[in-house]
Amino acid sequence: MDGARTADPVAVDTRETNEQLMIQSGALIENAYVVRDLDAAVESWRGAGNAGPFFLGEYPLPASSCTYRGRPTPLHTRFAFGVSGAMTIELVQQMDDNPSVFSEVLESRGVGLHHLKYATPSRIAEVGRLKQLGFEEVASLTAAGPERLITFVDTRASLGAFMEIMDYAVWRPSHEALLRAHQDWDGRTDPVRPWSRLAEYVVQDG
């Protein structure tokens, strides 16, 4: 494939309808797991989880882009995204020793489920709603641009995991590209790919 795809009007309308339905229902679209060895975790999910292909990347974020429990804190992670069935799977390995929303889970419980992500039209409104319900905002980070602001709310007492919240309109191109890559995959070819290759599956409107 050369560059991003171009969508026909019917496909665009269908995507917009699917997005509206997911947002209206608050659909769960991602399970994320904190791990100590990203490469080993990807291999496990490829096998037992029947997931893939996985797209791997790395974020060394400065303190100006991250806060954890009220304090600016740098954060360096490696990550992998894949799909199993219709569920996006995220795997995160923290590469530094700084306190974070990821190290908190590793230190208290070890590897495993870290956070959930639901489709939501407004990060600000959803964070406010959860705070009114008594849940605490514990971390935020800005990844790949100021518009990609992500907030973590501590819903572990009720849901067994943190909640990751961002505007779905921002995440939609990557989410749909991951689903498309999984649908196109033969289960064998290039099971692990750099994050930059996800752009091959992004559909451009128009």
How much is the pLDDT for 146? 54
Residue 129 CB partners (closer than 8 Å, separation 6+) = none
* Residues in the chain where the model's pLDDT stays below 50: 1-15, 17, 20-25
Residue 4: the pLDDT is 45
d(CA 79, CA 100): 15
Quote the pTM value.
Answer: 0.87
Three-class DSSP labels, 98-134: CCCHHHHHHHHCCCEEEEEEECCCCHHHHHHHHHHCC
Domain count, the chain: 1
Q: At what angle do helices 168-184 and 9-25 cross, to 10 degrees?
A: 120
CA-to-CA separations, 131 to 28, 124, 138, 148, in angstroms, rounded: 19, 11, 11, 21
pLDDT for res 2? 42
With respect to residue 7, please indicate whether it lies within any of the assigned structural domains.
no
pLDDT of residue 3: 46
User: Within a domain: residue 156?
Assistant: yes
Among 164, 155, 169, CA closest to 90: 164
In-domain check, residue 91: yes
- Which domain covers residue 116, as residue numbers? 28-188
Please answer whether residues 59 and 74 qualify as being in contact, where contact means their C-beta atoms are separated by less than 8 angstroms: no
* pLDDT tens digits, 14-56: 445 455 444 444 689 999 999 999 999 999 999 988 899 999 9
85 falls within a domain = yes
Q: What is the CATH number of the domain that holds 55?
A: 3.10.180.10
**Residue 144 included in any domain:** yes
C-alpha span between 145 and 147 (Å, rounded): 5
- The answer to whether residue 119 is domain-embedded is yes
Question: Does 159 map to a domain?
Answer: yes
Is residue 206 included in any domain, yes or no?
no
